[in-house]
Amino acid sequence: MDKVKQVLTPKFPDADDVFVVPNTFLDDTTKVELKTTFEEVVYNGLKKVLLGLTIIFFVLTLIHLFFLPKSIISIVVPVSSAITVICGSLSYVLRKIPVSIKVANAIGGSISILATIDTLLVFYFLAQPRQIIGITLIIVASGSLLMSLEWLVISVSISIVGWAMVMWLTNQPDWLRNGFLIFCSSGLSYLVFVTRMYALGRLKTLNLKYQARKIQLESVLEDKEKANLQLEEALKKLKESREDLKILINSVNGIVWESDINLSQFLFVSRKVEKILGYSTNRWLEEKGFWMSHIHPEDQETVLMYSTSEIKYGRDYELEYRMIAADGATVWLKDIVTVVFENERVSKLQGVMFDITDSKKIEAALIRSENRYRDLFEKANDIIYTHDLSGKFVSVNTHAKEVLGYSYEEILTMNIGQILQLEQLERVKERIKKRLAGENFPSQELTLRAKDGHEIIFEVSSWLEWENGVPVAIHGIARDITERKRIEEALKESEERYRSLFSSASIGI
């Protein structure tokens, strides 16, 4: 505790070293940092002051030029112009070349003296009591801007001596009143300076308190060194265990993840995400709302609504959606989500995303193929049908409805025996039996009855459908050949008629 008390005892700063630190407790690096900090305060403050004085004296030069009597312009204006140039030049130089704290204080003091000389010259030539105000302002400003007690004393002393000489040379009255103003401004300047230095001293004290606290913490850390070693060993084993788990997770052919209950901040994501979607794991973990913002725009609302509903009721769920990969490609994902509870409340979500893009492509191809088949099926000019082994219709195309006159629902309740002639039905049943026995047959002609009773002749080709080696249905294509048969019969009758005619005709004419 004695060391701590010694550290907490501040020393009032002097002109060159505001931060006086006991060598016993602060290393060289800390002392250098403190001194450098103070130098930066002085240096940066001086640059801004010089820039401001450049502007002030430039304006003051213009005022002298236009408002002072011509008899003194040739003396006062060059002085204020010179001060303007000096301040501007120093401001520019200090922005390019850093200087030490001593040089900075010397520059500040010198500028203060130059400003005092300019004001005293005006006071001397005009001999106006109101010029006392300018001198008092310069004295107060010196205490507000200078960082060195020596230069403050020099600047204020020159102001007082100069004032006294001008008062004596110009036979000014009111020595007592003006002297009181000069005295008060000098005291105020010193108080301002002391207050600023005290503030910097308090800054040093706070830093020393920090150092004292550091000593106490070091003592505590020494007492806990063994516990830390044991903790490090435990953490090492935990890290090894986590590494094993990480290897296992990354070997899963999917994206293993964990997030908050709002799915806005991911807490963990496996490296497989880089291979599947192309985004780094850092983006998933650091960018809030990354997952939702990269879901396909058409799926975002559905995914959000469904996920929110399931999470609200604490139910595990699965869903399929599209995400936009880093290269702009669309990737289909199947997300299996588990809702994790802590203290009977939903605390986080865990899940695995599987890439099902290839499956979706195959599914889309199958749908396209099915649509093409369905178009051919529905738009064919022949009847395409399927019935089970008992003869009950399972499916027919649109042309069957148009030709037979039955509705689709009516046909699906019917059996082939209801539209076949009895002798043809027996023939069909016999062919089915032989086909089941392995025999193959060419197409056959069958006569079907339409809903209105008229008969239509079809050329029918059929085949069996097998499933796991077992016949389950019969598919067939029936082409309407009624018109062709009518033409054939007409030709046949015509042939017979001409044959008969030639047979009965006389041989020689």
Chain segment 48-79, per-residue pLDDT in tens = 776 776 777 777 778 767 777 776 777 777 87
User: Contact 356/334 with Cβ under 8 angstroms?
Assistant: yes
* DSSP H helical ranges for 313-393: 357-379
- Domains of the chain, start order: 2-214 (no CATH), 254-361 (3.30.450.20), 380-490 (3.30.450.20)
Question: 439, 433 in Cβ contact below 8 A?
Answer: no
Residue 353, φ and ψ in degrees, nearest 5: -105, 125
* Backbone torsion region of residue 278, taken as left when φ is above 0, otherwise alpha when ψ lies between -120 and 50, otherwise beta: left
- CA-closest candidate to residue 8, choices 222, 195, 197, 202: 202
For residue 259, what pLDDT is reported? 92
Q: Which of 264, 334, 315, 323 is nearest to 298 (CA)?
A: 323
Return the C-alpha torsion angle 100, 106, 109, 112, nearest 10: -90
C-alpha closest to that of 383 among 460, 438, 321, 440: 460
Helix spans in 342-459 (H): 357-379, 398-404, 408-412, 422-436
Closest to 360 in 3D by CA, of 319, 324, 332: 332
- Report which of 100, 113, 201 is spatially closest to residue 152, judged by C-alpha positions: 113
pLDDT at res. 23? 42
pLDDT, residue 145, reads: 62
Torsion angle defined by CA atoms of residues 32, 33, 39 and 40, in that order, rounded to the nearest 10 degrees: 150
Query: Tokens at residue 180, please?
Result: 């009181």
Give the pair of three-digit tokens for residue 507.
């041989």
Predicted TM-score (pTM) above 0.85? no
Buried b (16+ CB within 10 A) or exposed e, 481-498: beeeeeeeeeeeeeeeee
d(Cα 320, Cα 336) in Å, to the nearest integer?
9
Residue 361: half-sphere exposure toward Cβ, Cα within 13 Å: 6
| SS3 labels along 130-155 | CHHHHHHHHHHHHHHHCCCHHHHHHH
**Could you read off the pLDDT tens digit of each residue along the chain, which spans 509 residues?**
454 444 444 444 443 443 333 444 445 555 555 555 555 555 566 667 767 767 777 777 787 677 777 767 777 778 777 777 777 777 777 777 776 767 777 777 777 777 777 766 666 666 666 666 666 666 666 655 666 677 777 777 777 777 777 777 777 666 666 666 667 666 666 666 677 666 666 766 666 677 777 777 777 777 777 776 776 776 776 666 666 566 666 667 788 899 998 888 999 898 889 999 999 999 999 999 999 999 999 999 999 999 999 999 999 999 999 999 999 999 999 999 999 998 889 999 999 999 999 888 888 888 888 877 777 777 778 888 898 888 899 989 888 888 888 998 998 999 988 888 878 888 888 888 888 877 777 888 888 888 888 888 888 888 888 888 888 888 888 888 888 888 888 888 777 777 777 666 554 44
Which residues contact residue 86 at a Cβ distance below 8 angstroms, ignoring those fewer than 6 apart?
111, 114
Which element (helix H / strand E) includes 335?
strand 330-342
Query: Rounded distance, CA 12 to CA 4, Å?
Result: 18
CA–CA distance, 373 with 193 (Å, rounded to integer): 97
Instruction: Compute CA distances 474 → 431, 440, 484, whole Å.
Output: 12, 13, 26
Sign of the four-CA dihedral 40, 43, 45, 47? negative
* Closest to 204 in 3D by CA, of 364, 19, 418: 19
Cα separations (Å) of 375 from 379, 381, 415? 6, 12, 25
Are the CB atoms for 182 and 223 separated by under 8 Å?
A: no
What does the pLDDT read at residue 144? Answer: 59
Sequential DSSP letters for 212-265: HHHHHHHHHHHHTHHHHHHHHHHHHHHHHHHHHHHHHHHHSSSEEEEE-TTSSS
C-alpha to C-alpha distance for 325 and 250, rounded to whole angstroms: 19
Amino acid 216: pLDDT: 74
Structure tokens at 373: 């088949």
Q: What's residue 423's pLDDT?
A: 81
In this structure, which amino acid lies at residue 42? V
pLDDT at 179: 67
Q: Which helix (H) or strand (E) holds 490?
A: helix 482-504
